[in-house]
């Protein structure tokens, strides 16, 4: 007489041999995603993303780009602390998974560290390259936490961005003199971070990502109107008062792509109706929107994108020796000193992720970054589940639009974090689909003595 005791998470009842032993390993979906509860997983993810967001922020107004050697070293130590903390929290033998876009980014980070040896001053490039690799290792270690928890992952990322938005609002209330840059507050001045030094484009990005993610969660009925309205109001306010046109355009296109690619689902249709309805309501305010977008700039400034095209033309027309062409000037060289005749024009940022990648890491680095980002875009848009596809598609569309006017894809930046969130969302959904398919096949091909399995979890006597 053999006693078989089936317990959830131990044995697949559809895969049992005659001797009462499991016929194969249990699919991931049948086992717990980890030893952490959903609430604990949310806290771990929130803290991890919060720390990573802090490492892509400037920590001092004297170093607005956050690119000094000391700053890079300290941020690297924060990431090391995050990795060590995760290793202590995670269960033994935790599952790891490296999605293809993350693997390509890791290859790029390794290239940056190795190629730094060819730079005249390699320290900054080595520090930033090492920080990139450390930052990419955090989501790899988080796999056992996020597996089977797509909504927890998105919720934790949204909460982290909400906290950043609240720090900006707190600066407006408690330190208004530091929260505005040039002009009159709430009019021509641009909203910046007072407590966390954030430039206006970064403030707009925080608002756009927060508003976009909450709209997606509302469309899929994860949050209600009581969360939607204040989150969208705060996010839109950050965009409007920071006068960030790129964030506004990227938010709109990101939501349109997210809902257009999921029209087969009720959530996709619901979200698209919200976006189209909002556009219709905005029609009477078109003159004011145009004035806001002009930002008191003349036609020449609009055409050259606030001076960006001058920098881009310089990069494209500059002669390069073989070493500079293939390996670049080194990761961290994000600004140019343009000269006209005998007088300097200004030190200007590149503000284009693709040209910035070429300038800093050369043709090899730019090709690796482009391959990683394009792979992540395809990876996101081919996500099987509608909710995950909408979130991943929104984030990657935002990144692709913002990459034209913002730098960061070649470094560990806020844009790189958005790529990582999109890839992880897609990877979690793909793993869930494989588990469902594997479970279905296991149940259809291995069903011996089905009449004996009267109640899963109860002992059966044979």
What is the reported pLDDT for 343? 45
At residue 12 the predicted structure's pLDDT band, cuts being 50, 70 and 90, is: very low
Residue 451 lies in a domain: no
pLDDT reading at 185 higher than 80: yes
Q: DSSP secondary-structure letter at 305?
A: T
For residue 10, being part of any structural domain is answered with no
pLDDT in tens, 157-166: 999 999 999 9
343 sits in which H/E element: strand 343-349
Instruction: Categorize the per-residue pLDDT at 338 as very low, low, confident or very high, splitting at 50, 70 and 90.
Output: low
Domain-located, residue 104: yes
- Residue 172, pLDDT > 70, answer yes
Q: Which of 127-131, 307-311, 395-399 has the highest mean pLDDT?
A: 395-399
Q: How confident is the model at residue 337 (pLDDT cuts 50, 70, 90)?
A: low
> What pLDDT score was predicted for residue 89?
84
pLDDT at 439 over 80: no
Per residue in 268-296, pLDDT (tens digit) is 999 999 999 999 999 999 999 999 998 87
Give the mean pLDDT of the chain. 85
Instruction: Work out the average pLDDT over 191-201.
Output: 92
Predicted local confidence at residue 66, as pLDDT: 54
394 near 255, Cβ under 8 Å? yes
Would you say residue 462 lies in a domain?
no
Q: Structure pTM?
A: 0.86
pLDDT greater than 70 at residue 321: yes
DSSP per residue, 225-264? HHHHHHHHHHHHHHHHHHT-HHHHHHHHHHHHHHHHTTTT
Q: Can you state the angle between helices 386-402 and 245-260, rounded to 10 degrees?
A: 150
Domain count, the chain: 1
The pLDDT assigned to 8 comes to: 38
What pLDDT does 346 receive? 60
Output the pLDDT for position 1.
38
Overall average pLDDT of the 294-319 stretch: 85
What percentage of the chain exceeds 90 in pLDDT?
63
> Is residue 405 a contact partner of residue 308, using CB atoms and an 8 Å limit?
yes
**Model confidence band, residue 11 (pLDDT cutoffs 50, 70, 90):** very low
Residue 32 lies in a domain: no
Residue 462 has pLDDT above 50, yes or no: no
pLDDT at res. 399: 98
Give which of 97, 101, 132 is closest to 114, Cα–Cα: 132
pLDDT value at residue 16: 41
222 φ/ψ sector (left φ>0, alpha ψ -120 to 50, else beta) = alpha
Among 97-106, 128-137, 178-187, the range scoring the smallest mean pLDDT is 178-187
If one compares 212 and 26, the residue with the highest pLDDT of the two is 212
439 in a structural domain: no
State percent of the chain over pLDDT 70.
Answer: 83
User: Taking the CA atoms of the chain, what radius of gyration do you get in angstroms?
Assistant: 25
* Band (437; pLDDT cuts 50, 70, 90): confident
Which residues are CB-contacts of 93 (< 8 A; sequence separation ≥ 6)? none
Does 267 fall in a domain? yes
Burial group, residue 199, by CB count within 10 angstroms (0-12, 13-18, 19+): middle
Nearest-5° angle of CA 178, CA 62, CA 309?
A: 90
Print the domain residue range for 260: 38-294+305-433
Measured distance CA(202)–CA(325) in Å, rounded = 30
Tokens of 184: 């009159």
Is 124 inside a domain boundary?
yes
Does the pLDDT at position 7 exceed 50?
no
Specify the pLDDT at position 91.
77
- The model's confidence at residue 453, banded by pLDDT at 50, 70 and 90, is very low
| CA pair distance 335, 291, nearest whole angstrom | 30
Question: How far is CA 25 from each of CA 9, 96, 141, 369, 439, rounded to the nearest angstrom?
Answer: 11, 17, 22, 37, 11
Q: In the prediction, which pLDDT does 341 show?
A: 44
């Amino acid at each position: 007489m053999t006693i078989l005791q089936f317990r959830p998470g131990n044995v697949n009842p559809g895969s049992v041999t005659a001797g009462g032993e499991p016929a194969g390993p249990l699919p991931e979906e049948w086992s717990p995603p980890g030893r952490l509860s959903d609430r604990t997983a949310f806290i771990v993810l929130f803290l991890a993303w919060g720390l990573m967001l802090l490492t892509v922020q400037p920590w001092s107004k004297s170093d607005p780009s956050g690119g000094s050697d000391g700053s890079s070293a300290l941020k690297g130590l924060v990431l090391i602390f995050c990795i060590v903390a995760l290793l202590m929290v995670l269960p033994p033998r935790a599952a790891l998974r490296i999605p293809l876009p993350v693997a390509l980014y890791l290859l790029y980070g390794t290239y940056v560290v190795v190629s730094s040896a060819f730079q005249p001053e390699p320290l900054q490039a080595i520090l930033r390259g090492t920080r990139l690799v450390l930052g990419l290792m955090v989501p790899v270690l988080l796999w056992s936490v996020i597996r089977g928890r797509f909504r927890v992952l998105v919720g934790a990322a949204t909460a982290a961005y909400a906290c950043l938005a609240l720090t900006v609002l707190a600066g407006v209330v408690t330190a208004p003199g530091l929260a505005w840059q040039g002009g009159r507050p709430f009019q021509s001045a641009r909203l910046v971070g007072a407590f966390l030094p954030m430039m206006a484009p970064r403030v707009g990005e925080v608002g756009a990502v927060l508003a976009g993610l909450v709209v997606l969660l509302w469309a899929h009925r994860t949050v209600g109107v009581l969360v939607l309205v204040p989150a969208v109001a705060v996010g839109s306010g950050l965009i409007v008062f920071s006068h960030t046109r790129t964030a506004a355009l990227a938010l709109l296109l990101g939501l349109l792509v997210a809902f257009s690619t999921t029209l087969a689902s009720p959530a996709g249709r619901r979200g698209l109706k919200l976006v189209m309805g909002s556009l219709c309501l905005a029609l009477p305010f078109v003159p004011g929107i145009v004035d806001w977008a002009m930002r008191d700039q003349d036609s020449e400034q609009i055409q050259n994108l606030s001076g960006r095209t001058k920098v881009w033309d310089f990069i494209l027309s500059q002669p390069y020796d073989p070493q500079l062409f293939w390996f670049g000037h080194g990761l961290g060289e994000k600004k140019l000193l343009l000269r006209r005749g005998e007088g300097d024009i200004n030190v200007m940022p590149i503000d284009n992720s693709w040209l910035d990648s070429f300038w800093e890491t050369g043709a090899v680095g730019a090709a690796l970054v482009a391959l990683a980002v394009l792979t992540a875009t395809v990876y996101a848009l081919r996500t099987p589940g509608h909710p995950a596809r909408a979130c991943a598609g929104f984030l990657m569309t935002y990144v692709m639009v913002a990459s034209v006017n913002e730098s960061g894809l070649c470094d560990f930046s806020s844009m790189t974090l958005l790529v990582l969130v999109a890839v992880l969302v897609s990877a979690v959904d793909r793993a869930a689909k494989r588990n469902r398919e594997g479970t279905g096949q296991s149940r259809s091909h291995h069903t011996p003595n089905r009449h004996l399995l009267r109640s899963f979890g109860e002992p059966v006597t044979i």
